[in-house]
Amino acid sequence: MHERHNYGTECARRISGHSARQQPASPGTRRETSQRRYTVVRRKRVISMAQSVEGNTVVSGESGKEEVETTSAYGEWCLSVAPMMDWTDRVCRAFHRTLAPGARLYTEMMHAQAVIHGDRERLLGFDPMEHPVALQLGGSEPAALAQAARIGADWGYDEINLNCGCPSDRVQAGRFGACLMREPTLVAECVAAMRAVVSIPVTVKCRLGVDEQEEYGTLLGFIDTVAAGGCDTFVVHARKAWLKGLSPKENREVPPLRYGHVYRLKQERPALRILINGGITAVDAARAHLAQVDGVMLGRAAYHDPHVLHRLDAVLAGTAEQSREALLRAFLPWVNAQLAQGLALRHVTRHILGLFHGQPGGRAFRQILSEGTSRPGAGIELIEHALRATQDLSRAA
Ligand SMILES: Cc1cc2nc3c(=O)[nH]c(=O)nc-3n(C[C@H](O)[C@H](O)[C@H](O)COP(=O)(O)O)c2cc1C
């Protein structure tokens, strides 16, 4: 079992205004006090990323391995960005890292068998600036999950997270995701198998329950059983899922949010680290949650209105809020380096469309990027152009 703490006070201290971060950071200027040092096992990757991310700190480790210093100015579990299929790919995560230097990032869910048999560079490759970054796995076979977790740990991930919340038909047919809420003993076995082969945290992301599971006691039973398998950190999407009759999208909207269940879980199991997820769209709401639980995880809001992610990070870190333009400019050197290595512009622009969400000129920003991104020869100038047009409209407003 991991060493257990009562984490609630750390985030509460952060939201009351005490901060470790002295200055805003961008990927190129990460110079804060190091609270943790991440070993990156693959030397080749570190070197290529060091070239592509200007100024990121890369130093030699004790055993000849490369190490990358990175930090969270607040507790490293306080704020995270949810795993989202087709959305939180490596480019999206790099963008989110620029906006929120202290947030924990999650990959899209990957099935254990894909990790074992698939193209690992494509599936697992990530940039050192993403740390802390968690690999989310799907599956329900302990041995396969253990093998995949080991591969993820060897690739340098900071956490392995098991998906017990996805309700899609395909996932149910494979007996993983949300339907595992009915099989806590199996989940505990999966956790135990993974924990036996990795030293990084193994965590679980779950729902309140599925189908007729309405009672708080059912959630508690699930958590207790899985905790007995060695999991001390749970991300709880604060609504249940209907396994029949609702699409995955509806299952993120229709079942009511019950934050009270998650708060109660933290009160009754203070030794567990409990992160809350679901419907958190504003800084004040996130701060209110942080007074009750150990961390907040933002999904759709972080994607569609990414500046809210930045504002929350700045509040937690006690740093000055940066403008959307400054954040985008801080991201551009990274984008440039990726384009030079052959990445198509559209793989970048799709993730930044929401940056000016709700702002004068925000629509023009989206439109210019969406329309221009697939034109032959489209490059970084398109982003500059969208930015200028947005600023002009903003000044005129
Ligand atoms: C497009 C999309 C893809 C998602 N994919 C995953 C996934 O791969 N794994 C997972 O655990 N949850 C996934 N989710 C659910 C989110 O992680 C999160 O639990 C959910 O969106 C509720 O949080 P929110 O209200 O902040 O968006 C996905 C959500 C969206 C919108």
CATH number for the domain spanning 40: value is 3.20.20.70
Burial (0-12, 13-18, 19+ Cβ within 10 Å), 60 = exposed
The answer to whether residues 237 and 373 belong to one domain is no
In a domain, 325, yes or no: no
Q: Tell me the CA–centroid distance for residue 302 and ligand 1, in Å.
A: 11
In a domain, 1, yes or no: no
The answer to whether residues 271 and 367 belong to one domain is no
User: What is the spatial distance between Cα 230 and Cα 233, in angstroms, rounded to a whole number?
Assistant: 9
Whether the CB of 138 sits within 6 Å of ligand 1: no
The answer to whether residues 110 and 223 belong to one domain is yes
Whether the CB of 165 sits within 6 Å of ligand 1: yes
What average pLDDT score do residues 206-233 get?
A: 97
pLDDT at 21: 55
Per-residue pLDDT band at 227 (split at 50, 70, 90): very high
Whether the CB of 82 sits within 6 Å of ligand 1: yes
- Please tell me which residue in 166, 179, 190, 206 is annotated as part of the active site: 166
* Domain with 384 in it: 344-396
pLDDT at 47: 26
The answer to whether residues 286 and 386 belong to one domain is no
Per-residue pLDDT band at 105 (split at 50, 70, 90): very high
Whether the CB of 300 sits within 6 Å of ligand 1: yes
Whether the CB of 299 sits within 6 Å of ligand 1: yes
Q: Which residue has the higher pLDDT, 332 or 21?
A: 332
252, 303, 305, 350, best to mutate for ligand 1 pocket (most atoms within 8 Å of CB): 252
The answer to whether residues 103 and 233 belong to one domain is yes
The answer to whether residues 349 and 303 belong to one domain is no
Whether the CB of 259 sits within 6 Å of ligand 1: no
pLDDT at 16: 60
The answer to whether residues 222 and 359 belong to one domain is no
Residue nearest to atom 13 of ligand 1 (CA): 84
Q: Does the pLDDT of residue 256 top 70, yes or no? A: yes
Q: Does the pLDDT of residue 83 top 90, yes or no? A: yes
Q: Tell me the CA–centroid distance for residue 60 and ligand 1, in Å.
A: 37
pLDDT at 26: 37
Q: List Cα–Cα distances, 237 to 45, 114, 166, 233, in angstroms.
A: 34, 25, 10, 13
The answer to whether residues 233 and 271 belong to one domain is yes
pLDDT tens sequence across 297-355: 999 999 999 999 999 999 999 999 999 999 999 999 999 999 999 999 999 999 999 99
pLDDT at 62: 31
In a domain, 327, yes or no: no
What average pLDDT score do residues 146-166 get?
A: 98
What average pLDDT score do residues 242-254 get?
A: 95
Give the SS3 label for residue 383.
Answer: helix
In a domain, 93, yes or no: yes
Q: Is 231 a catalytic residue?
A: no
Q: Tell me the CA–centroid distance for residue 394 and ligand 1, in Å.
A: 32
In a domain, 389, yes or no: yes
Q: Which residue has the tokens 């905790």?
A: 227
In a domain, 199, yes or no: yes
pLDDT at 13: 63
E strand or H helix at 39: strand 36-40
The answer to whether residues 105 and 63 belong to one domain is yes
Structural domain count, the chain:
2
Q: Tell me the CA–centroid distance for residue 87 and ligand 1, in Å.
A: 9
Q: Tell me the CA–centroid distance for residue 82 and ligand 1, in Å.
A: 6
In a domain, 365, yes or no: yes
pLDDT at 12: 67
User: What is the spatial distance between Cα 11 and Cα 46, in angstroms, rounded to a whole number?
Assistant: 31
Question: What are all long-range contacts of 218-223, with beta carbons under 8 Å and residues at least 24 apart?
Answer: 219/261, 219/265, 220/265, 220/268, 220/269, 221/184, 222/181, 222/184, 222/187, 223/265, 223/269, 223/272
The answer to whether residues 61 and 174 belong to one domain is yes
- Range name among 362-366, 382-386, 393-397 with the lowest pLDDT average: 393-397
Per-residue pLDDT band at 23 (split at 50, 70, 90): very low
pLDDT at 162: 98
Residues with Cβ within 8 Å of 177's Cβ and at least 6 positions away in sequence, in order, are 138, 163, 164, 165, 166, 167, 168, 171
pLDDT tens sequence across 157-201: 999 999 999 999 999 999 999 999 999 999 999 999 999 999 999
What average pLDDT score do residues 93-120 get?
A: 98
Whether the CB of 108 sits within 6 Å of ligand 1: yes
What average pLDDT score do residues 103-130 get?
A: 98
Whether the CB of 93 sits within 6 Å of ligand 1: no
The answer to whether residues 97 and 27 belong to one domain is yes
Per-residue pLDDT band at 90 (split at 50, 70, 90): very high
What average pLDDT score do residues 219-223 get?
A: 98
Q: Tell me the CA–centroid distance for residue 59 and ligand 1, in Å.
A: 35
The answer to whether residues 122 and 38 belong to one domain is yes
Q: Does the pLDDT of residue 380 top 70, yes or no? A: yes
